């Protein structure tokens, strides 16, 4: 089947962490954000805000909190994507239907909204030759982000994103076979043989890629990544900002 240009672009995605010093073109960021805003939004709540971080001191503090990710300091643009229920809460109060009260449903809707929005931004950026990387590392110590960016209640930093003109080009990371994720009618687990064959593919990729070569496979890398990122503070943090209270 012939792929559209958009599909080619999507299949060509790879995260970029090293950038040229060249800034984005005038108006380019605003146009990318508009593309982000064009994403679907649950009940049209548009529950997100994006903070463009230009203060170098804030970038340095966030980079440190994110485990020393230097690209946060060096990228031409660093954005923090927030799930933002403030406007929604205000709308509810004004309409007389009361405050949001931290229902899990609203928190989930806001986090889904911001993720869809951000992916639209990244794809639009990639369509213009820019590159970028998400930064979940900001959740290591999200209070640092709150303090640096003066985030009020009901505004939760979900992830960051570095953007700029790429100064590196990695190979595309092999995704799981479609059959692993597209299931028909009912859920079926993937057999161990099939998982092992994907592990072999990933092991070959990790062993031969241009940078950050490592001896691992998908299951081992995933176990290490998830066990290393338990972030036990997260629920308490979200509760304090008014998310997932009930």
DSSP state at residue 49: E
Q: Terminus-to-terminus CA distance in the chain, angstroms?
A: 47
Tokens of 62: 């966030």
Nearest Cα residue to 153 out of 48, 243, 245, 61: 243
The residues with which 134 forms a beta bridge, in sequence order, are 161
Beta carbon nearer to ligand FMN, 89 or 141: 141
Binding to ligand FMN in span 129-168, by CB under 6 A: 133-137, 159
Beta carbon nearer to ligand FMN, 103 or 168: 168
Strand 131-135 with 155-164, pairing:
antiparallel
Beta carbon nearer to ligand FMN, 14 or 87: 14
Q: Where are the alpha helices (DSSP H) in 159-191?
A: 178-181
The residues with which 161 forms a beta bridge, in sequence order, are 79, 134
Site size for ligand FMN, by CB under 6 A? Answer: 13
Q: How far is the CB of 188 from ligand FMN (least distance, A)?
A: 25
Beta carbon nearer to ligand FMN, 134 or 237: 134
Q: Is residue 173 involved in binding ligand FMN (CB under 6 A)?
A: yes
Q: How far is the CB of 96 from ligand FMN (least distance, A)?
A: 37
Binding mask 42-71 for ligand FMN (x = CB under 6 A): ------------------------x--x--
Please say whether the beta carbons of 36 and 118 come within 8 A: yes
Q: Which residues bind ligand FMN (CB under 6 A)?
A: 13-15, 17, 66, 69, 133-137, 159, 173
């Amino acid at each position: 089947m012939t792929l559209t240009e958009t599909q080619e672009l999507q299949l060509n995605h790879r995260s970029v962490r090293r950038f040229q010093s060249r800034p984005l073109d005038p108006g380019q960021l605003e146009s990318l954000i508009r593309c982000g805003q064009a994403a679907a939004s649950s009940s049209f709540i548009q529950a997100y805000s994006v903070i463009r971080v230009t203060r170098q001191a804030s970038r340095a503090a966030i980079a440190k909190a994110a485990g020393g990710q230097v690209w946060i300091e060096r990228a031409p643009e660093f954005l923090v994507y927030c799930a933002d229920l403030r406007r929604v809460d205000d709308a509810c109060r004004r309409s007389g239907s009361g405050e949001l009260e931290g229902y899990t449903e609203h928190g989930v809707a806001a986090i889904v909204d911001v993720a869809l929005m951000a992916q639209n931004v990244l794809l639009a950026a990639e369509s213009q030759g820019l590159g970028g990387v998400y930064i979940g590392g900001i959740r290591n110590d999200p209070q640092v982000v709150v303090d640096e960016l003066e985030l009020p209640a009901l505004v939760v930093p979900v992830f960051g994103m570095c953007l700029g003109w790429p100064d590196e080009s990695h190979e595309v990371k092999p995704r799981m076979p479609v059959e692993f994720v597209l299931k028909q009618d009912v859920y079926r687990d993937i057999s161990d043989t099939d998982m092992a064959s994907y592990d072999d593919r990933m092991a070959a990729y990790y062993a031969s890629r241009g940078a950050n070569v490592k001896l691992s496979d998908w299951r081992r890398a995933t176990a290490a990544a998830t066990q290393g990122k338990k972030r036990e503070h997260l629920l308490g943090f979200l509760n304090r900002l008014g998310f997932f209270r009930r």
